[in-house]
Amino acid sequence: MADPKLSQDLKAGNFIAAPGVFDLISALIADRMGFRALYVTGYGTVASALGLPDAGLATYSQMIDRIGRIAEMTKTPVIADADTGYGGLLNVQHTVRGYEKAGVTAIQIEDQEFPKKCGHTPNRRVIPVEDMVRKIKVASDSRSSADFLIIARTDARTGLGLEEAIRRGEAYAAAGADIIFVESPESEAEMAEICRRIDKPLIANIVNGGRTPMLPVDQLKTLGYSLAIFPAVGFLAAGQALFSAYDDLKRNGTTTDAVPMYDFSKFNELLGFPEVWEFERRYAEID
């Protein structure tokens, strides 16, 4: 079930910064860091699980299996990408119920046409406002707990401009979304305008190398945002670390001190090996 701490933080005015997680290793590490939420990134999860671009290729079943396991194995509230809801209105209902049952605390649904494209990439097209409003109403009616939050994302800014994106954000707020996500504003002035005009908790998507300025959380809070997700920080860091380690091995025939490594004993602890060893000590003599 949804973790009430996320909605409590929003009501208390506590700013929520959520790092992107994309597999169980990233989720377990981030879970120990003291963040108020974790963000299961669609881009990173599809890349990690399937080795494919985030272009509407992953199915609901593939995503819920991965997301549900992350929610099960962590104690921090999980915000999870659900693309367009994986179809029409009945699909949205099924998706919301499935994500909530899996232990997700906030679900993100966007107004792109199917097949969707990753945010901060070109050629994204959006469905009519009225169609997305119906999706939000279905999502809101389908949840069993008010602590399960609906994040409505619009991708209209890139193709249709800021005014249309704000108009959609206002419409989605009126339809019952708990949090509004205006994707890829292109300047701090645009971000300030979004915060000034939309009277709902707002989420900023801070993507390394993306269209939106890389502002720190203190500045985002001053602008008027309530949450910020950093979806790419985990998989970009992991990609660079893997490249450096493999390159070191290829060039030197072994690994050297030039590439920092996660301590093996700490990694064993992260995965729960001490509990396995304790179990074996207690029951090793039992046939």
State residue 191's pLDDT score. 98
Query: Does residue 268 surpass a pLDDT of 80?
Result: yes
d(CA 213, CA 201): 19
pLDDT digits (tens, 9 = 90+) for 120-134: 556 678 999 999 999
Concatenate the DSSP letters of all residues of 175-211 into one string: HT-SEEEE----SHHHHHHHHHH--S-BEEE--TTSS
Query: Does residue 283 surpass a pLDDT of 70?
Result: yes
Judged by average pLDDT, the poorest of 48-57, 118-127, 197-206, 267-276 is 118-127
Average pLDDT over every residue of 13-21: 98
Query: Does residue 287 surpass a pLDDT of 60?
Result: no
Beta bridge partners of 265: none
Confidence of residue 33 (pLDDT cuts 50, 70, 90): very high
Collapse the DSSP code of 140 into the 3-class scheme (helix H, G, I; strand E, B; otherwise coil) and give the result: helix
State residue 88's pLDDT score. 94
State residue 76's pLDDT score. 98
Tell me the backbone φ, ψ of residue 82, rounded to 5 degrees: -125, 25
State residue 236's pLDDT score. 97
State residue 112's pLDDT score. 93
The chain-wide mean pLDDT, for the chain, equals 95
pLDDT digits (tens, 9 = 90+) for 99-148: 999 999 999 999 998 766 665 556 678 999 999 999 999 999 999 999 99
State the amino acid at position 64 in one-letter form.
I
Please report, for the chain, the start and end positions of each structural domain, with discontinuous segments joined by +. 4-238
Tell me the backbone φ, ψ of residue 88, rounded to 5 degrees: -85, -160
State residue 113's pLDDT score. 87
Locus of tokens 């790419």: 232
State residue 114's pLDDT score. 78
Query: Does residue 60 surpass a pLDDT of 90?
Result: yes
Confidence of residue 285 (pLDDT cuts 50, 70, 90): low
Confidence of residue 284 (pLDDT cuts 50, 70, 90): confident
Judged by average pLDDT, the poorest of 106-115, 162-171, 224-233 is 106-115
Concatenate the DSSP letters of all residues of 41-78 into one string: -HHHHHHHHHS--SSS-S-HHHHHHHHHHHHHH-SS-E
State residue 120's pLDDT score. 58
**27 Rama class: left (phi>0) / alpha (psi -120 to 50) / beta:** alpha
State residue 180's pLDDT score. 98
Judged by average pLDDT, the poorest of 98-102, 116-120, 242-246, 262-266 is 116-120
Architecture per CATH, domain 4-238, reads as Alpha-Beta Barrel (3.20)
